[in-house]
Amino acid sequence: MNIFDQIAHRYDSPKQLELASIIAEEIKKDLRNFSGEIALDYGCGTGLIGLQIADKFREIVFVDPSKEMIRIVKQKIDQLEETNAKTIVGSFSNENTFDIKADLIVVSLVLLHVPDTLDLLKSLYSALNPMGRILIVDFDKNENVQHEKVHNGFSQTELGKQLEELGFKSVISRTFYHGEKLFMNQEASLFILSAEK
């Protein structure tokens, strides 16, 4: 059982719910002029972000490697009677890609847990429809965070360059939130990065 299976049932803490609302509001700003029909919430956890934007899409797919997280997303989808949502247990990598094509992929607080971020970003690029968009939310690089299992955030400039090298264009990013004890109990900031295929 992975760590996310273990914490799934207590993941929706007041702090997580508040942070998810802040992130979802920022994502909605980026979607104001977006007309895509199929969204993919990758590393969706308990669906805290994707469920807040589900009404903007004909179909939204929730993908997470944790069976327990997906079980909770399914419960929420049933409770909300969301007819346009579906779930998949799994992860994108070069060996394991799904036959999914999306107009929008949301990757919120996921990259920091992924050892090989480049491999994941390549797979997500392949899963995007032409003219599709990726929205990445994560922590700005933070020297005060040290953990063997987690990246200590990302440089927006370096991440943007990586995406451009993979073929993404129109890469734009901005820091949108600062908080106390936000990242491994350290003061930290969040950025949102948008890029198109």
Strand 128-139 versus strand 169-183 pairing type: unpaired
Query: Residue 165: is its pLDDT beyond 90?
Result: yes
Tell me if 162 sits within 8 A of 128, measured CB to CB: no
| pLDDT over 60 (residue 1) | no
pTM for this model (two decimals): 0.92
Residue pLDDT, tens place only, 116-160: 999 999 999 999 999 999 999 999 998 887 777 888 899 999 999
Of 112, 103, 107, nearest in space to 139 by CA: 112
Q: What is the pLDDT of residue 146?
A: 79
Task: Return d(Cα 42, Cα 15) in angstroms, integer.
Answer: 21
Give the CA distances from residue 101 to residues 17, 66, 124, 127, 132, in Å, rounded to whole numbers and listed in that order.
29, 21, 9, 5, 9
Rounded CA-CA distance 43/138 in Å is 12
Report whether 111 contacts 138 (CB < 8 A): yes
Query: In the prediction, which pLDDT does 69 show?
Result: 93
Could you tell me the residue range of the domain that residue 141 belongs to?
3-196
The pLDDT tens digits of the residues spanning 70-126 come to: 999 999 999 999 999 999 998 876 555 567 899 999 999 999 999 899 999 999 999
Residue bearing the bigger pLDDT, 42 or 90: 42
CATH number at residue 28: 3.40.50.150
CA distance 39 to 41: 7
When divided into structural domains, the chain yields a total of 1
pLDDT band at 9 (very low <50, low <70, confident <90, very high): confident
Antiparallel, parallel or unpaired: β 186-196 and 169-183:
antiparallel
pLDDT (tens digit, 9 = 90+) per residue, 18-31?
999 999 999 999 99
Distance CA 185, CA 83 (A): 38
Give the per-residue pLDDT at 75. Answer: 95
